[in-house]
Chains A and B, each alone.
Chain A
Amino acid sequence: MNQLIYFVIIGLGIGAVYALAGLGVVTLFTGSGLANFAQGDLMVLGALVAVSVTSAGHGYVAGLLAAVAVVAVAGVLLGALFTLPMRHRRMDVDVVIIGTLGVATTMTTLAGIWWGRQPQRLDSPLAGVFVPVGEMRVPAHYVLLLVGAAVVFGLVRWFHRRTDIGLQLRAVASSVPAARDAGVRIGRMLVVAWTIAALVGGVAGVLVASVLPIAPESALPLGVNGFAAAIIGGLANPAGAVLGGLVVGLAETLAGGYLNDTVRQSVAPLVLLVVLVLRPGGLLGRARGARTV
């Protein structure tokens, strides 16, 4: 029983990371209609910047702030890059996919050149702190992950619900033509959406780096799991991304804990495929979402 609770806490912590990865994907998708396959790389970027700053002796908070700043700049740049051609035409799905995959290749390689390919772990003040669960002790980090994810989710939600820029973002998300008719500056909102997605990814990267060692090549699995989380939830639904992330994280941890590593690796894709076959629009997506194209 205690073991189960232990695995559940660990699983929820890992799930929180996937939830944040998925939240980044969803934020961008609702804001701009783009699916970003480089979301994992933004997480890695945040993580590695934080590792560099912290290991230079500046402390965890400085690392987090530096990561946020760098990732925000990356988000603005990517946003500008991807918004430019959209002024004149709608981008096809395949173009978006290979465009963001190209960004992913570039960022992964650059990160490898700058930081090396070795996995690195982020030192944090919580290192060595454990939360007792019966006879077992859960690293406090997993709790931090959950709290951090909740805070980020809350902030993003607050921004969308309570600010004027958030209002315009939601207008764009609901309908680009209607928002354009209403005078919303679509291009600017797209850049904002990219920036928020990048920020969410960067913070998620910093949070996860204390638990899992992060290498440039971690971007792909992180991104894939984030996508799994987002798609399971329904791609256009932030709460769905959180639900999807927690489902994937829990399933993975339980499968790894009670079965074996092979099953653990297959869980995320399997859950994704099963959900999509049964509910083509995702768990919280619209039921009629199964139209082609």
Chain B
Amino acid sequence: MALRPDLAIIADAVPSGARVLDIGCGDGELMVALGAKGVDARGLEIDPANVTAAIARGQSVVQGDANRDLADYPDNAFDYAILSQTLQTTERPDRVVDELLRIAPRAFVSFPNFAHWRVRLALLWNGRMPVTRLLPVAWYETPNIHHVTVSDFRDLVRAKQIGVERAWHLSGDKPTSDAAASWRAEHAIFLIARG
């Protein structure tokens, strides 16, 4: 099965031989792809069924909560931390970003862009929290408790003096330009580094 587009980008961008922590690794799909190219990948995942599936695939995954359990990893334990589609579900995304760059000098962070034009239109026209392809769940049951936009994230890393080494913006499966990302990106992936 093909990797989700944001995961494919991350899998491609991590150099072989790197040590990686995949936070919110699900059933280990990205870890398997990383392992195939010689990356030493470890995972953290909150859902026990997903953890079981990942261990059954031979992956090293610890059941835990990104809000709390990142503290158990020593400084610089990894070359890269990966947080895909999880930032918006954490209690304090700003502190999670700090933790990512404590346990690794670089981190991939991907999230759905809440300022995508369909979201904006839905909110403008309907006056209701949008339910879209990437945000498919109603407001009362969504795990996304901190909706974030591309511009919000850029502001956060600027305020924290965190460097952005690369950014990818996706509309569907296709890349879109940095300049148009705020409106056009459904998905954003940032490779951030300690400032």
Q: Do A and B assemble together? A: no
Interface residues of A (CB under 8 A from B): none
